[in-house]
Structure 1
């Protein structure tokens, strides 16, 4: 019996590498199970992992600190890098579709937070180092805490006790920093109950429309000549001539009275109607269209790009229409239909709808690959290479005028920026960044859960003692105010005054407060990647500004 007790103590209580893995796994599993509970319509989801870690640490469970720090930081790096890969293709187009405005709103939230901090400094008399610890916890921004501690150490190398108090202030306010943003987002959702879904992509959506050529100027012109008349991307996918449907080539001649089916951006249909003369009112975008009955003598197949050498190649460079007499009517990327414009860069995993004669379609299938099993093979070289670049980039010091110490983006900032760049530009350099949706979700969930479990175990030992004794309650109340007030004010203004969507506003708030746990809550409530795209859009600049402000506050007020 004694041997069993000693064995159980060794497995669960004596700090070691194995014991740390066991405890961390137990904390994560129990937290995920409790996260399924709902209070009304609100569920904290994976945030429960953090609280289970705090409770375990409070009741005396200790782990190997080096191993725990590694697991915590590695989980964070995996999460932010996978998030960057996911939103990378939509990141830069989002800047053109309101991303600059979202960044300005996010900076307004950051500025309001620090103005409130200065006000509380004079009203409550809390020291600025402790207040910076509170702000770091209330906004779940640990890089800002590290920057503030480093600045304080440069000013006063003997301020070891003050630096420890800063970390404790961050730890006791961190839980409500997480929960406070989630509560604020739940309240904002009540204000905006009807949430519009959002789809951001790197190219216009495909929209089908039928036209009759009534413009005499087009009679006798080739498809290539007609395409040059309009400075907007569109593709003629079918031509009805004398009652017979044909797949057009670039040299095919169009005649007065022909009917054509074109795919374009929906906003361009009015210009196409002016060009061709008359638009038919039949809705070709209905999901119940029987394309086989439309084409009859033609074959329509969905082919998947699985050849790595086609990754990043422009669609027009393949010259599929001219060489094989087939047409590409759709390009499906991760569930989003894109306009098959000749300048569209193809990516591994794209699904192309190809229409033409059977043998020609088979030849195109050989060119594209069309071997779905190949997509299941993970491209880990690019994944780990991106992690290396992200961590290295996060360690690069940036020197700013008037700031005595260099700024570093750290493990939270560097990987997400590299992930965005890899997702956006990797295919252009023939880097295979394709990850299935399920694999990306697994990486993100695994990373953030590992981070939360490690954070809870690391910060829970003195958590309740600090709250019950000393200034703990004052810190918690101050942190909750710093979390809730700016978030609600800016969120309300964004939705009600600026007429922004809830998903974009929620993503902006999560990114501005560097709160991936709240982002996971938002994503569990909504469909689409709208919140994640805005999160990644505002996150780098917001975190950078918070780090700078934290150091400036120490330099001025400490």
Structure 2
């Protein structure tokens, strides 16, 4: 036992023992739920209670790495979403965080809870580790970690239960509700699908290439002839009486149908060999290229009918450059779709391409920016700190992808490695510091903190959902997806995905999540002035 205690006094051994036990605890699942990285925090608190402490340098290094990875991940979509209809989800995230702040202030005043504990409870209720990082920077008090640790488990459980139980209790058919409600993905420029029968003789025996719709948004995806459906290719010949399946913006579709024939309402039954599949653009080699350059029709016998970018369905333009994360709806045969999926996906053997120079530069710039004093009238002077500074710089550089010699378009898992490593190092340090006062806090304010954390969790959930549904008129699926993103709850998204086979929950979650990350980090620093 004495030898074990001596070993734990070695800084590196202490860190890795905490990481080992914490990650093991975080992997334990009870009815599909697990603590995840929060397991490291809880184990570190126990070690902290017995007097062990992880070096602040390790904690700050972990914090900086984690925050930079979050910024680089959110950067590409954050600013684009602010210019699109996806701002609806940003507003919902802002409302959820604002209600959380108001609830936290009221609860803190009512129960006489210290500012550090209160902010920690809020970030735990929102399951936001970046928020905890900002709270520790703003308060300089390790008790924020105690509040986070107390509120976090219920914060995870409450959103998951709300998502699972609401449709059952209210007896809601999610698919029907999704069809009836307002679709935030669609805009005035979103494509629609029509079926047109060819009656104009001048188009008889013409190929699709000869029709030349390249200057329009119209895409002919399939041809129905004698009840047989065929994939529409550039050299496909059109005959009188053919029914064309066309996708495009409504005004152009109306003009097209009048020119070539008339709209018809026929059932579209694809034979077994023709399928639709959603494919995500991930390959570095294809980013920046247009559909015209890729020439999928000629090369693969496939047609792209729709493009969803940053959660919004956009008008298709053959010359528009593709960006990472674009989701294409592709029509082709099963074998060809597999080939196209490989074409657009990351190469399986791509190495983890972390660019140390770029990461170091972002960290250095971020820490320097975090030290700049910012004067806020009525509140005094604040700094962005080790959390806010790197986050701000990473968001900007992540948006552009490359600034001079700095480039951050990493292979996906590479960013995940940086994020996970930084997170557990930060939690190990924050936990041991917080653990020194854990027992005293629980003994004196335990029940009060649990009740406070419950209120700070439940009130934003209810208000966030009602605002999404009643004010923005979103479907239940989009409302719950936005709520999961606004509460930064990935387990809730997983629960929602089990209820309906659709990409809509993920779109709403992905649109709200980056806004929530930023707003919680900002709120965690500003709320201190009100407490």
- TM-score, scaled relative to structure 2: 0.69
Give the total of aligned pairs: 497
> Is 1:29 aligned to 2:24, yes or no?
yes
- TM-score, scaled relative to structure 1: 0.66
Partner of 1:290: 273
The answer (yes or no) to whether the contact 2:18–2:44 under 8 Å persists in 1 is no
Partner of 2:91: 104
The answer (yes or no) to whether the contact 1:312–1:428 under 8 Å persists in 2 is no
Give the superposed CA RMSD.
Answer: 5.6
The answer (yes or no) to whether the contact 1:93–1:202 under 8 Å persists in 2 is no
1:413-458 Cα deviation digits (max 9, x unpaired)? 8448846874x6549999783645x777676666655555554344
Partner of 1:56: 46
1:302-360 Cα deviation digits (max 9, x unpaired)? 99999855431223346677xx687641389999999874134235799997989xxxx
Q: How does 1:39-188 map onto structure 2 within 5 Å?
A: 43-46=33-36, 49-50=39-40, 52-54=42-44, 56-57=46-47, 60=50, 62-66=52-56, 68-70=58-60, 72-73=62-63, 76-77=66-67, 80-81=70-71, 83-84=73-74, 88=76, 92=80, 96-97=84-85, 99-120=86-107, 123-124=110-111, 135=122, 140=128, 141-146=131-136, 148-149=138-139, 164=141, 167-168=142-143, 170-188=144-162
Partner of 2:436: 461
2-structure distance, mates of 1:427, 1:23: 37
1-structure distance, mates of 2:354, 2:132: 30
> Is 1:433 aligned to 2:417, yes or no?
no
| CA separation of 1:495 and 1:275: change in aligned 2, threshold 3 A | same
Q: How does 1:521-540 map onto structure 2 within 5 Å?
A: 521-527=491-497, 528=503, 529-530=506-507, 532-539=509-516
Partner of 1:236: 220
Partner of 2:260: 276
| CA separation of 1:503 and 1:531: change in aligned 2, threshold 3 A | farther
> Is 1:314 aligned to 2:290, yes or no?
yes
2-structure distance, mates of 1:393, 1:416: 7
Q: How does 1:177-216 map onto structure 2 within 5 Å?
A: 177-189=151-163, 190-193=165-168, 211-215=196-200
1:272-301 Cα deviation digits (max 9, x unpaired)? 544532456566574x53259xxxxxxxxx
Structure 1: any 5+ residue segments left out of the alignment? 150-162, 293-301
Q: How does 1:359-508 map onto structure 2 within 5 Å?
A: 374-378=347-351, 380-381=353-354, 385=358, 388-389=361-362, 392-393=365-366, 396=369, 397=372, 399=374, 401-402=376-377, 403-408=379-384, 410-411=386-387, 414-415=390-391, 418=394, 422=398, 426=401, 433=409, 435=411, 448=423, 451-469=426-444, 471=445, 473-495=447-469, 498-501=472-475, 504-505=478-479, 508=482
> Post-superposition shift, 1:245?
9.0
The answer (yes or no) to whether the contact 2:41–2:430 under 8 Å persists in 1 is no
Please identify the structure whose Cα radius of gyration is greater.
1
| CA separation of 1:283 and 1:493: change in aligned 2, threshold 3 A | same
1:454-506 Cα deviation digits (max 9, x unpaired)? 5434422321222214x565455444433433443333443466544556545
2-structure distance, mates of 1:498, 1:348: 29
The answer (yes or no) to whether the contact 2:26–2:38 under 8 Å persists in 1 is yes
2-structure distance, mates of 1:145, 1:246: 57
> Post-superposition shift, 1:20?
1.5
> Post-superposition shift, 1:187?
4.3
